[in-house]
Structure 1
Amino acid sequence: MKPTNFTTCSTLLALALALPSLSHAQSRSSLPPRGAATVASAAAVGDWPTFRGADRTDISKETGLLKQWPDAGPKKLWTYENAGFGYSGFASAGGTLYTLGARDAVEYLIAIDANTGKEKWVAEVGPFLTNGWGDGPRATPTVDGDRVYAMGGKGELVCISAKDGKKLWNASMTEAGGKVPGWGYCESPLVDGKLVICTPGGPKGTLMALDKMTGKKVWQSEEWTDGAQYASPIVIEHGGKRQYVQLTMQNVAGVNAADGKLVWKSAFPGKTAVIPTPIYSDGQVYVAAGYGVGCKAVKLTGSAEPDVVYENTNMVNHHGGVILVGGYLYGYSDKGGWTCQDFKTGEVKWAERGKLGKGAVHCADGMLYLLDESKGTVVLIEASPNGWNEHGRFTLEPQTTNRNPKGKIWVHPVVSNGKLYLRDQELVSCYDLKK
């Protein structure tokens, strides 16, 4: 049954979430980093089936997008006004845009026509997460064929029919031994082959694999029992083994995709909340966190403990994400502002604090889309280690009036099928990026 429309309430809204030259960057941006596995190979080039895309690199494979914006920014196509409370991002497939939101104290998966902004259906996910920093769901849905997988703020994982919103099965992270993290479950489910990978955390195992058709448990990583944090796992191929890599407050680790056995683990000194998604390329795993922690890179050697390549505070990334393009990392560092960092060495190539405030990053067609979480300013720059080269900016309008002063625009921007999607609580805006 369709719920009533989104209504204003006074609950607090915030979240500690989830969360080369240009020509060289363009040539590399259409390819995932070496060894990064694609989990949604059947997805169309322009589709965006899960958080950070099919290969979780946060690099869109699209081309033919605007490289210079008009003074007022790209043309707005539509605004959808009923997404509800929450910080869920976007998945896009087959002409439908998916996100999560809370209406009337219930969390829902919402399907929107990507071309018109009209609501297609909604499906109940689970109970309403309330939190002093923000209410509602945080995770981004994952689309796999004719099914959509979504994680509610209290750890209810559901499988929904993409056709009509019918619930097919559900599983509980707390029943799997997990404890709801302080800001709720924020990870976006990872669908890989026949499995759905999630992170309940706790004494039964940090990572868990479920049969994607039935929701039945296939394995849980009993050798690794850290509590869940807020990062989303990735899948990699290394040394002939398919692995799932995840980050917690204590460790970054990889487990065997076949049985969940621990392959390697490296200590990580997390504080308060660990949020950004791990990055993998050419045998090297990179992780970062905020709250003064910084970043770490390890080289996988085949042993149970990989070699530390570097560990520094050049990228103190809270939850806006880090992207690897052409051998260089881009993201916002609480230490130096918008930062370009050499992936191999960890050294800073450039940093820019004055031109845009803290926020999230996304990459498409060789360009970086930067979002200021406080003002809603969106900036287009080249993905280049040569410095900040801006190609346009605009400010998101309208912005919500329902956000508590602690809350900000924390949903990451997404480019899919020639469109830019932005969200501020109940408001989803779509812009035309095609030349």
Structure 2
Amino acid sequence: MNTLPFCRSLGVVATLLLTTQIVAAVEWSQFRGTAGDGIADVTHAPTQWSETENVVWKTPIAGKGWSSPVVADGKVWMTTAIEEQATEEERIATLERLVENPRRFGEFRLAKSITLRLVAVDLATGAQEMEIDLVRLDHPDPIHTINSYASPTPVIDGDNIYCHFGTFGTICVDRKKGVEVWRKRLPLEHGVGPGSSPFVYKNALVLICDGMDQQYVTALDKSTGETLWRTDRPPLDAASGEQKKSYDTPIAIIDAAGREQLICMGSQWLVAYDPTDGSEIWKVRHGKGFSVVPRPVYGDGTVYISTGFGKPQLWAIRVDGSGDVTDTHVAWVEKKGIPAKPSPLLIDGELYVISDDGIASCFDAASGELVWKQRVGGKYSASPLMAAGKIYLCSHEGKVSVLKPGREYQLLAENQLDGQLMASPAALGDSLLIRSDTALYRIAE
């Protein structure tokens, strides 16, 4: 289903058709873009829009999902969950069985059944072209009220797209044919639902599996789904599984010595693994942080992490060590105004963050010195995006703040869309792709 009520004139339609050839060749292949850092390699991106201005198309998306859109060959892909709601009696009965503290029942919602679906939308027109049902499950585990059953972002690699739903299954789909290539299930007790996105590195699909019951990182053969290696996380001293779970997404780097590293953030520990066999290269104990969501970023020999829930902190860690480098390789730590969910953004030696409660900050990446701090307002889960010299911050309330990066705070625009924004946006060609709780937008000036 597609709506195209916002094409302003035949001239705009002609421009849209002309730019289709450009954007069709550009990819946004994984969570936070093809480089995984939230920075789009584009020369133009919109500054101002609304529900009735500069919206090329708006396409309703059935179900609920916080996975971000990914793009290749002129198609936008995302996952969603079609839910049959449980009754309140069914919900309470399940929570009494699974959640120890009744005071926490209000944090959870429960579906009677779910269908986990992969959706493809034409980038040029917004027409929905494919719906592929991947998983049908009765009586799924409860999830947090703020989460969805389809929160991990799929990753595109060649002709395949890899859809990961945590404990509910990992499925490789041939996106040209729309057929399943392989599937695998790695059971895990997430506690509040899935969150970690898959990551492709060379021949491996890397998954962080940090549950309440077990914590490990694994690599699957991306062609077959067979396990290449599995490495348990360092020992955790948390009193319960609640403080052991985590939801992070890996990044890959090559350090100055030429070592390939998979950087995998988790509760209490940040670990760098050898991607060939999963052996530990180095690790840092970052404290008691848990339920870590922000994806690390890397630059100039340093990786930057947010330590997750508890009391979020921003850490800068040099990557040239071996073994436990907690006491030797931590460059700096900042403890104020740090996000538990949105990832940091590293631009030209400056680190930008937006806290969950709407405080934007800029830090000097080398020293950790605060450059500026400003209340933007709203609640935030989506990670910031940098495109064409602008930073985009998408709030739960549907507001998108556009900032100019630099050592002074500059607000360029505030734009309002209908619905809730929790999926991280994408940018390619001259457009933004923004997913709300009900629709996918393509926005261009």
User: Which of the five TM-score ranges fits, normalised by the shorter chain?
Assistant: 0.7 to 0.9
> Following the alignment from structure 1 to structure 2, what is the Cα–Cα distance between the partners of residues 107 and 232?
20
> Following the alignment from structure 2 to structure 1, what is the Cα–Cα distance between the partners of residues 252 and 229?
16
Give the number of aligned pairs.
375
Amino acid at match of 1:296: W
Q: Which residue of 2 aligns with 1:54?
A: 34
Amino acid at match of 1:365: A
Q: Which residue of 2 aligns with 1:191?
A: 200
Q: Give 1:45-124 correspondences, 5 Å limit.
A: 46-66=26-46, 68-69=47-48, 75-104=54-83, 105-124=114-133
Q: TM-score if structure 1 supplies the norm length?
A: 0.80
- The one-character-per-residue Cα deviations of 1:368-416 (angstroms, maximum 9, x if unpaired) are 011122x2111211111222x122221013x2xxxxxxxx531112212
Q: Which residue of 1 aligns with 2:264?
A: 246
1:197–1:207 CA contact under 8 A, matched in 2: yes
Amino acid at match of 1:356: G
> Following the alignment from structure 1 to structure 2, what is the Cα–Cα distance between the partners of residues 224 and 411?
30
Partner-residue secondary structure (3-state), 1:206: strand
Q: Which residue of 2 aligns with 1:325?
A: 347
One of 162, 169, 173 as aligned partner of 2:186 = 173
1:314–1:341 CA contact under 8 A, matched in 2: no
Cα distance change on mapping 1:273 and 1:167 into 2, 3 Å: same
Partner-residue secondary structure (3-state), 1:221: strand
Q: Give 1:234-383 correspondences, 5 Å limit.
A: 234-238=251-255, 239-271=257-289, 273-288=291-306, 289-306=308-325, 307-333=329-355, 337-353=359-375, 355-359=376-380, 360=382, 361-373=384-396, 375-383=397-405
Larger C-alpha radius of gyration, 1 or 2?
2
Amino acid at match of 1:371: C
Amino acid at match of 1:277: R
- The one-character-per-residue Cα deviations of 1:8-54 (angstroms, maximum 9, x if unpaired) are xxxxxxxxxxxxxxxxxxxxxxxxxxxxxxxxxxx987321000112
- The one-character-per-residue Cα deviations of 1:97-142 (angstroms, maximum 9, x if unpaired) are 1111012421111111112121111223334564241442101110
Amino acid at match of 1:342: D
> Following the alignment from structure 1 to structure 2, what is the Cα–Cα distance between the partners of residues 75 and 331?
27
> Following the alignment from structure 2 to structure 1, what is the Cα–Cα distance between the partners of residues 310 and 422?
17
1:285–1:300 CA contact under 8 A, matched in 2: yes
Cα distance change on mapping 1:252 and 1:74 into 2, 3 Å: farther
CA RMSD in angstroms, aligned pairs only:
2.5
More helix by percentage: 2
2:155–2:200 CA contact under 8 A, matched in 1: yes
Cα distance change on mapping 1:320 and 1:336 into 2, 3 Å: closer
- Aligned-pair distance for 1:236? 0.7
Amino acid at match of 1:122: E
Q: After the TM superposition, which of the residue ranges 123-132 and 47-56 deviates more from structure 2?
A: 123-132
Cα distance change on mapping 1:45 and 1:391 into 2, 3 Å: farther
1:337–1:358 CA contact under 8 A, matched in 2: no
> Following the alignment from structure 1 to structure 2, what is the Cα–Cα distance between the partners of residues 205 and 131?
19
> Following the alignment from structure 1 to structure 2, what is the Cα–Cα distance between the partners of residues 187 and 304?
25
Partner-residue secondary structure (3-state), 2:252: strand
Amino acid at match of 1:230: Y
Amino acid at match of 2:280: L
2:79–2:116 CA contact under 8 A, matched in 1: yes
> Following the alignment from structure 2 to structure 1, what is the Cα–Cα distance between the partners of residues 349 and 35?
17
- Aligned-pair distance for 1:296? 1.3
Runs ≥4 residues deviating over 6 A: 70-73, 202-205
Q: Which residue of 2 aligns with 1:232?
A: 249
- Aligned-pair distance for 1:358? 3.4
Unaligned ranges ≥5, structure 2 = 2-22, 84-113, 237-243
- Aligned-pair distance for 1:158? 0.8
2:393–2:400 CA contact under 8 A, matched in 1: yes
Q: After the TM superposition, which of the residue ranges 108-117 and 421-430 deviates more from structure 2?
A: 421-430
Q: Which residue of 1 aligns with 2:221?
A: 211
- Aligned-pair distance for 1:74? 5.6
- Aligned-pair distance for 1:204? 7.8
Unaligned ranges ≥5, structure 1 = 6-42, 400-407
**Are residue 138 (structure 1) and residue 155 (structure 2) matched?**
no
Q: TM-score if structure 2 supplies the norm length?
A: 0.78
> Following the alignment from structure 1 to structure 2, what is the Cα–Cα distance between the partners of residues 187 and 417?
27
Q: After the TM superposition, which of the residue ranges 283-292 and 220-229 deviates more from structure 2?
A: 220-229
